[in-house]
Copies of this chain bind each other. A is one copy, B any other.
Amino acid sequence: MPQDHGGPALAAFAALLADPTRAVFCSALLDGRAWTAGELARTAGVAPSTASEHLSRLVAGGLLAEERQGRHRYVRLATPAVATLLEDLTAFAEASHGGRPAPRNLREATRRSAEARARTCYDHLAGGLGVAVADALLARGLVTAEAGLAVTERGHAWLAAQSIELPPRAGRPGGRPVVRSCLDWTERRSHLGGALGAVLFRTALDRAWVERIGSGRALRVTPDGGRALRELLGVEL
C-alpha cells in the first residue's frame, strides 16, 4: 500500500518546506510571480550559493518551476495546486502557532495596514479588498455557500454581463475548482480563490482597476477601479 510509503514520501516532501530559508522563498513566491535566484537570496538574507542549492532542491521536489533566461534563473511556484497547498499549510501553521506577534515599530505597522487594504495572494485578490469583494459577491447572491462555495445562476449571468469568462476546464473533475475559500492571514476571514478568484484578479488588472505597487504583493486601487467596484458590486473602500 502506498501509505506504507506515504510516511517517507510525506517526510521527504515536508522536509522541503521545513527549512526557514526555503519556507521564506515559497512565501515570497506566493505572490504568483517569477523571482530570480538573487532576489530570493537577498530577501531571505543568505548567500547566493546557498540560495542556489535550495532552489535546486525545491525544483527537484516539484514545488517550483524554473526558467532560464540569459544569466538569470527565474523561478515560480510550479502549479496553482502548490499555491493552494502552501496557503493551507501557512494558514494552519499561523493558526496553531498562536496569534501573530505585534508589529515592532510604526513603519512596519503602516506598511501592514497599507498591504492589508489590497494585496495579492498567489493569483487572486486578498487583504481587505479581497475580503470585501468576496462579501459583496455573497451578499448579492452571485456566489453561494450553501453546499460548499459555488457560483449561482445569477452569478454566471453577472459574469457574462461583465464579459468575464471562466476558463473552460474550471469546475470539471481534475480541473481547478471554480471557487475556493482562502483564509486571509490579515483579516482572519475568507476571500475568493479558485478559478473565479483568479479571473477576477486578472480582469481587475487588465481593466486597470488595480495596479501593483513595487515588487511585492501590494496593490493600489485606481480611481477607475474604485468607481467600478462601487457600481458593479457596491464595494466602498
Contacts and interface: CB of A to CB of B under 8 A. Distances in A.
B5 A11 contact: no
Contact of A20 (B11, B88, B150, B171): B11
How many copies of this kind of chain does the complex include? 2
A30 B1 CA distance: 14
A11 B22 contact: yes
A21 to B, nearest CB: 8
Interface in A1-48: 1-3, 5-20, 22-24, 26-27, 30, 44
A7 B30 CA distance: 11
Contact of A148 (B92, B100, B178): B178
A81 B63 CA distance: 22
A93 B171 contact: no
A3 B30 contact: yes
Given A145-B172, A147-B150, A148-B177, A11 B6 contact: no
Contacts of A168: none
Interface residues of A, number: 69
Contacts of A11: 17-20, 22-24
A163 to B, nearest CB: 19
Contacts of A111: 1
A101 interface: yes
13 contacts: A1-B185, A1-B186, A2-B186, A3-B90, A7-B20, A10-B27, A11-B23, A13-B92, A13-B96, A13-B97, A147-B171, A148-B149, A148-B194
Interface of A: 1-3, 5-20, 22-24, 26-27, 30, 44, 61-63, 81-82, 85-86, 88-90, 92-97, 100-101, 111-112, 115-116, 119, 145-151, 171-173, 177-181, 185-186, 190, 194, 217
